[in-house]
Amino acid sequence: MNGGFHIVVCGSIVPDPLQTLAPMEGATGPALKNEMMLPSVLDPWAGHSLYEAANLAKKVPGSKVWLVSLGPKAKLQQLMMSIAQKVAFELVVLDGPASGFTDSTEVAAALAGAIGSIPGLDRSRLLLFGGCASASRDAGVTMQMIGEQLGLTEQFLGVDELTVTENGALRVLERIEGGQYQVSECSAAPAVLAWATGNLPEPPNNPQIGMVNMRTIMPALQKAQTAAVGTGGISYQAVELPSQRRETRIVKDMPADDIAAEIVAWLKG
């Protein structure tokens, strides 16, 4: 790859999966109870895409990674304390809601606008990365809409592997039905890759990377633009927790043979 890739990763925060979540009626639509107080993590699939981006940038000289995040500035700042120590990137911040109840069309428009304004971004070398879906809205549509707005019509969804071939082509494995992969080859960048889990573990913290990142992260947070993102035209009639709670029968001290017989009867029933 001549000159390397310009990899833009879209990723924001979601509540820590171990937290108990409850909906409430907010000023502009549904919201989470104590949303600003809930501990947050980097959206898992977006996180995988960030680690894959950093790994690719390491392999292809001249590449650079940007992380574009839409979320409450204060919470993004907290998140950066951990994420910034893992991989090298330049942060672009949009100060706005990270709620799952926002409309993906509005989120996509805001992110596309921010990406289009990144100084020095070479769109001919652009690889737009992100998660295949968020853990909040879980719509799986935002990356495609950003791609459309940026004129990117080579798009891949549910990516687990990207290999750059000797001639610079992108060989992509996308998840499809039944545990299978579709294998495709795209002749070159630009392209959109919405990642599933990929193949990389979470990188360990590296304080040196953190120190380098922090030089650009704090200014990025300070000059964050406010993003007017909301629920769009969605009219929410109700948002509820599922009421179903099962009456669990706890079976103790039953011999393994008897348990097995009961399970087989259930399976065949």
Partner 1 sequence: MEKILFIAHTQADGTLPNAAREALSAALELSGKIAGSTLTVGLFGKDVKPAADAIAACGAASFIGVSGEQFAESRYATDAAAITALARQAGATIVVAPTTSRISRAVAGAAQRLGGRIDTHISGLDVADGAPRLQRWYYRQRMVATQSRSQRPWFLVVDVGVFPAWSGVAGSAPLQSLAVDQDTCTSRTKVIGIQSPSSDTQTIRPEAEVLLVAGAGWTKKQADGQLHIKDAEGIILDFLQKNKASLGSSKSLVDQSSEGESVLPFMSHLNQVGQTGSTPRHPKGLATCCHGEEPHAVGWRFINERRAINLDAGCGWAQGKADVLYVADAFQVMKKVNELLG
Subset of 19-38 contacting partner 1 (CB under 8 A): 20-23, 30, 32
- The residues, any chain, with a CB within 8 Å of residue 8's CB and separated by 6 or more, are 65, 66, 68, 115, 118, 121, 126, 127, 128, 129
Nearer to partner 1, 188 or 212 (CB): 188
163 is a site residue for partner 1 (CB under 8 A): no
Residues in the chain: 269
237 is a site residue for partner 1 (CB under 8 A): yes
The two structure tokens encoding residue 63 = 């590449």
81 is a site residue for partner 1 (CB under 8 A): no
C-alpha to C-alpha distance for 217 and 231, rounded to whole angstroms: 28
Of the candidate residues 88, 121, 221, 234, the single one contacting partner 1 (CB under 8 A):
234
166 is a site residue for partner 1 (CB under 8 A): no
204 is a site residue for partner 1 (CB under 8 A): no
Shortest CB 19 distance to partner 1, Å: 9
* Residue 231 C-alpha from the chain's centroid: 19
Shortest CB 28 distance to partner 1, Å: 14
Question: Which strand (E) or helix (H) includes residue 115?
Answer: helix 104-116
CB under 8 A: which stretch of 4-12, 14-22, 87-95, 117-125 binds partner 1? 14-22
State the DSSP code for 229: -
State the DSSP code for 220: H
